[in-house]
């Protein structure tokens, strides 16, 4: 926990200086190529506090960040935290569903591949999942978008609801699920291979343990040996991977959300980069980093709870 706190503090400091090194004049870049009076640009620098010394800006940044006040967006002129709060539900729904599906399907595939190792089932499962895992997720998303939305016309090309729709309740949820299908499928396929390989490798290691040999010698059926003895012990690394991956997928959905115009944190990040919107980028970078740190901590705690031997190492 102390390590997580120190890492978060480092990210907090790094977050402030990173964007000021990369983007020394965000207001000037925001109006690049536009006929805007210099006085207007200077007034905006004063309004956003960019005329102050770096030390003064840093102290102000620490104070406001502690209060979850990340400033005003350069593009929308709305509080950054309000913009993030509006985008969080869409991202959590997309990432949550795709993470659960990839974990469940990948784990089941890894169990079958390990238990039927060196057979056609093993080769087909590992090969197919690794093909999707090796593809960049945005490229996979574009392929699915062109195939199922443009060519076949089965799904919408983007957004979270049908344009101009006034549906509410269950009908609105069905419409949102209809729009979520392709981006959720993209993230699910992209992470299947990781869960499959980790589960397969872990189960193969467990299958060589003496207690499984004893269980078979006692006359237990092969299916019972697998489900009651082998799989529960092999799932420990998968639980850790699931917790860690949720933090990474949360920040890794940027390209997929941009491809499908999904109005979540990923699309907000892509829009802020194009701006450039310095306050929004700072807040999103800090949020994504904190998510990875927190879920890594959860993974460590969960693993030691599931396997008390870890605490003795």
Task: Indicate the pLDDT class of residue 28, thresholds 50, 70 and 90.
Answer: low
Mean pLDDT of the chain: 79
Please determine, for residue 60, whether its predicted confidence score (pLDDT) is greater than 60.
yes
274 found inside a domain:
yes
Buried b (16+ CB within 10 A) or exposed e, 25-58: ebbeebeeeeeeeeeeeeebbeebebeeeeeebe
pLDDT of residue 23: 57
Q: Same domain, yes or no, for 126 and 61?
A: no
Decide which of 189 and 295 is more confident.
189
- Domain presence at residue 82: no
Terminal alpha carbon distance of the chain: 17
Are 91 and 121 part of one and the same domain? yes
Please check the confidence at residue 36 and state whether its pLDDT lies above 70: no
Tell me the pLDDT band of 312, cut-offs 50, 70 and 90: low
pLDDT of residue 295: 82
Assess whether 27 and 123 both reside in one domain. no
Which range of residues forms the domain containing residue 207?
Answer: 87-312
Using the predicted structure, report yes or no on whether residue 245 has a pLDDT greater than 80.
no
Question: Are 169 and 49 found together in one domain?
Answer: no
> Do 202 and 154 lie in a common domain?
yes
Shared domain check, 33 and 161:
no
- d(CA 99, CA 245) in angstroms, rounded, equals 8
Give me the pLDDT at residue 38, please: 66
Answer for the pair 278, 23: CB distance below 8 angstroms, yes or no.
yes
pLDDT of residue 309: 60
Of the pLDDT bands very low, low, confident and very high (cuts 50, 70, 90), residue 229 is low
Asked whether residue 33 falls in the same domain as residue 101, the answer is no
Evaluate whether 207 touches 247 at the Cβ level (below 8 Å): no
192 occurs within a structural domain: yes
pLDDT attached to residue 119: 86
Task: Answer yes or no: do 110 and 245 share one domain.
Answer: yes
Q: How many beta carbons lie within 10 A of that of residue 289, not counting itself?
A: 19
Q: Of 66, 99, 115, which residue sits at a domain end?
A: 66
- Identify whether 74 is part of a domain: no
User: What percent of the chain lies above the pLDDT cut of 90?
Assistant: 0
Based on the domain organization, do 224 and 119 belong to the same domain? yes
Q: Where among 33, 66, 99 does a domain terminate? A: 66
102 and 239 belong to one structural domain? yes
Confidence of residue 154 (pLDDT cuts 50, 70, 90): confident
Band (200; pLDDT cuts 50, 70, 90): confident
Query: Is the pLDDT higher at 313 or at 255?
Result: 255
Confirm if 263 and 87 have CB atoms less than 8 A apart: yes
CATH number at residue 230: 1.10.3720.10
What average pLDDT does this structure show over 117-122?
84
pLDDT at 310 over 70: no
- 53 and 163 fall within a common domain: no
- Element holding 74 (H helix, E strand): none
Looking at the structure of the chain, the number of domains it has is: 2
pLDDT tens for 249-285 read 766 677 888 888 888 888 888 888 877 777 888 888 8
């Amino acid at each position: 926990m102390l390590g997580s706190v120190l890492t978060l503090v480092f990210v907090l400091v790094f977050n402030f200086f990173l964007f000021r090194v990369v983007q020394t004049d965000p207001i000037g870049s925001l109006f690049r190529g536009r006929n805007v009076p210099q006085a207007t640009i200077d007034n905006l620098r004063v309004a956003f506090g960019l005329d102050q010394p770096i030390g003064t800006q840093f102290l102000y940044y620490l104070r406001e960040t502690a209060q979850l006040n990340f400033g005003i967006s350069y593009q929308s002129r709305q509080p950054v935290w309000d913009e993030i709060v509006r985008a969080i539900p869409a991202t959590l729904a997309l990432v949550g569903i795709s993470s659960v599906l990839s974990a469940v399907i990948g784990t089941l595939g890894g169990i079958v591949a390990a238990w039927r190792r060196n057979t056609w089932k093993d080769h087909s499962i590992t090969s197919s999942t690794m093909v999707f895992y090796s593809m960049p997720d945005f490229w996979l998303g574009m392929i699915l978008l062109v195939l199922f939305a443009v060519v076949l016309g089965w799904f919408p090309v983007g957004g979270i609801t049908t344009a101009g729709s006034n549906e509410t309740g269950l009908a609105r949820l069905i419409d949102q699920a209809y729009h979520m299908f392709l981006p959720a499928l993209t993230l699910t396929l992209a992470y299947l291979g990781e869960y499959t390989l980790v589960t397969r490798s872990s189960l193969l290691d467990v299958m060589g343990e003496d207690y499984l040999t004893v269980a078979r010698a006692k006359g237990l059926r092969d299916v019972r040996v697998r489900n009651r003895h082998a799989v529960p012990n092999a799932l420990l690394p998968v639980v850790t991977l699931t917790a860690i991956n949720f933090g990474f997928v949360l920040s890794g959905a940027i390209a997929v959300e941009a491809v499908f115009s999904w109005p979540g944190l990923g699309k907000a990040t892509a829009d802020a980069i194009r701006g450039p919107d310095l306050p929004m980028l700072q807040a999103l970078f800090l949020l994504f980093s904190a998510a990875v740190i927190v879920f890594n901590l959860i993974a460590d705690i969960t693993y030691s709870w599931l396997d008390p031997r870890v605490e003795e190492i």
